[in-house]
Amino acid sequence: MVNPLEFRTKEQARAFLKRAGLLKNMRVIRGEEREKTLTMLRLMPSESSNSQHLWTETWRVGDVTYDLVSGTGVDELIETTEDEIEIEQ
């Protein structure tokens, strides 16, 4: 385990938390908000990936990542942001 005193700056601490995936905030967008967001996203370039069971389309808008995941029994639009945290020195 890393001792928090090993971080000399808050940027070092934030980089560690980011690498550990602890700053991510995810939510599934549903309903009318989903339709409006998808309309906006479809006007922008995206990246696509395909596994054997799922198709994923990804957009990056500023600090927000949107993933449209679809496949057998799955059709979700996921918004991922990073939490802003205050680190006292």
Indicate whether 62 belongs to any domain: yes
Backbone angles phi, psi at 32, to 5 degrees: -65, -35
How many structural domains are present in the chain?
Answer: 1
Name the token pair of 34: 């989903």
Indicate whether 65 belongs to any domain: yes
| Domain enclosing residue 32, as ranges | 24-82
Neighbours of 66 (CB within 10 A): 20
Indicate whether 18 belongs to any domain: no
In the predicted structure, residue 36 carries a pLDDT above the cut 50? yes
Give residues with Cβ within 8 angstroms of 35, minimum separation 6. none
The residue assigned the tokens 């995941």 is 69
Q: pLDDT-based confidence at 2, cuts 50/70/90?
A: low
Indicate whether 3 belongs to any domain: no
Give the whole-number percent of the chain exceeding pLDDT 70.
85
Q: What is the pTM of this model?
A: 0.70
The pLDDT score that the predictor gives to residue 1 is 54
Residue 45, SS3 per DSSP? coil
